[in-house]
C-alpha cells in the first residue's frame, strides 16, 4: 500500500511551505489520491533538524483539522493518518475522521499517547527513533553491525508497551525510522537487511522517501548534494529494495512514480515466492 505524504507545515525538509495553506494542502491531497495513494499521512509539525521550536498541539490542530475535514468532504472514503507524537492532536484528529496515528516517537514523547490510542481503537504506526531531532547531529555514531539489532530490540520494546496500554495487536504497524537518529550511511543496514524486521511479527512500513542519506549517496554523481525534491529516483530504488524484502506499506512524496516501481517489485516478489513455494512442495 502507498501512503502519500501531506505536510501542512512551513518547514518540512521536502516540501515545507508548498502546501502550508489548507486549500493547497487539500488540492495536493486529492492529487495524491488520484495518483493512487491508499492512505494519506497528514502532518502539522516538522521533525527535521534545525526547525523552529516544537509547535503547540493547538497550532498543530489549526493546521491539520481543516485539511482533514475538507478531504473527507470531497472524498468520504479516504483513509487518513495523522502524523503526530502529541496525544491531544491524535484524539482531535481521530475524532475528526483520521483512522491511524503515526507516531514518529513510538509513543515515547508523550506519556499519554498509548492510552489515548487504545481508547480510540485507531490504527497506530510505531516508528523507531533514536533521540530527538535536535540531538541527531551530535549523537555518537552507530556501528553498522549494530543498527538492525538496535532497531529490532527497541521496536519490540515499543510494541510491548503499546500492548500493555491496551492497543490491539492487529492495530499495529512498525516503521524502522529511516533518518530518525540514523546518520546517513547508518540507514543502509536497514535497507540491506529489511527482511530481518519480519521477526517482530507486524506489518512493516518503509519511509525512506527523499531522505538526506539518499542525497549524500548521489552527491558524487552530481558533484554536490541535491535538494530533496530531486531525490525521487533514489527514493524509488530504496522503496523497491524494501518491497522486495516484504514491506507492506511505503510512505512517499511522489505517489505515481512509487506505484509504478511497486508494481514491478511486487511482480518480482510474487514470482520469487511462487518458486519458493513450489520448491517446498517438492
The Cα 66–Cα 19 span in angstroms is 13
- Average pLDDT score over residue span 91-120: 97
Residue 87's pLDDT is what? 98
Least confident among 48-57, 153-162, 166-175, 241-250: 48-57
The Cα 25–Cα 235 span in angstroms is 22
Residue 274's pLDDT is what? 86
The Cα 239–Cα 249 span in angstroms is 10
- Average pLDDT score over residue span 125-133: 92
Residue 223's pLDDT is what? 94
pTM (two decimals) = 0.93
Residue 52's pLDDT is what? 66
CATH of the domain spanning 2-281, picked from 3.20.20.20, 3.90.550.10, 3.40.50.10300, 3.90.1170.40: 3.20.20.20
Mean residue pLDDT across the chain:
93
Catalytic residues: 211, 251
Closest CA to 228 of 239, 214, 242, 207: 214
Residue 277's pLDDT is what? 84
Residue 17's pLDDT is what? 57
Amino acid at each position: 500500500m502507498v501512503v502519500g505524504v501531506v505536510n501542512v507545515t512551513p518547514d518540512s525538509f521536502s516540501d515545507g511551505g508548498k502546501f502550508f495553506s489548507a486549500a493547497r494542502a487539500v488540492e495536493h491531497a486529492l492529487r495524491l489520491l488520484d495518483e493512487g495513494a491508499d492512505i494519506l499521512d497528514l502532518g502539522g509539525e516538522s521533525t527535521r533538524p534545525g526547525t523552529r521550536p516544537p509547535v503547540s498541539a493547538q497550532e498543530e490542530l489549526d493546521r491539520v483539522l481543516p485539511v482533514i475535514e475538507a478531504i473527507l468532504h470531497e472524498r468520504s472514503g479516504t483513509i487518513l493518518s495523522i502524523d503526530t507524537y502529541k496525544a491531544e492532536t491524535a484524539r482531535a484528529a481521530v475524532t475528526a475522521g483520521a483512522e491511524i496515528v503515526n507516531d514518529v516517537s513510538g509513543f515515547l514523547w508523550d506519556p499519554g499517547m498509548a492510552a489515548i490510542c487504545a481508547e480510540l481503537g485507531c490504527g497506530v504506526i510505531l516508528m523507531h527513533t533514536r533521540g530527538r531531532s535536535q540531538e541527531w547531529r551530535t549523537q555518537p555514531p552507530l556501528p553498522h553491525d549494530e543498527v538492525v539489532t538496535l532497531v529490532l530490540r527497541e521496536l519490540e520494546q515499543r510494541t510491548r508497551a503499546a500492548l500493555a496500554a491496551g492497543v490491539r495487536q492487529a492495530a499495529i504497524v512498525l516503521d524502522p525510522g529511516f533518518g530518525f537518529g540514523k546518520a546517513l550511511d547508518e540507514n543502509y543496514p536497514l535497507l540491506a537487511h529489511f527482511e530481518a524486521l519480519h521477526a517482530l511479527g507486524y506489518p512493516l512500513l518503509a519511509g525512506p522517501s527523499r531522505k538526506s542519506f539518499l542525497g549524500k549517496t548521489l552527491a558524487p554523481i552530481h558533484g554536490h548534494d541535491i535538494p530533496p525534491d530531486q531525490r525521487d529516483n533514489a527514493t524509488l530504488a530504496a522503496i523497491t529494495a524494501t518491497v522486495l524484502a516484504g514491506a507492506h506499506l511505503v510512505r512517499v512524496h511522489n505517489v505515481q512514480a512509487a506505484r509504478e516501481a511497486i508494481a514491478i517489485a511486487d511482480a518480482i516478489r510474487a514470482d520469487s515466492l511462487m518458486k519458493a513455494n513450489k520448491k517446498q512442495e517438492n
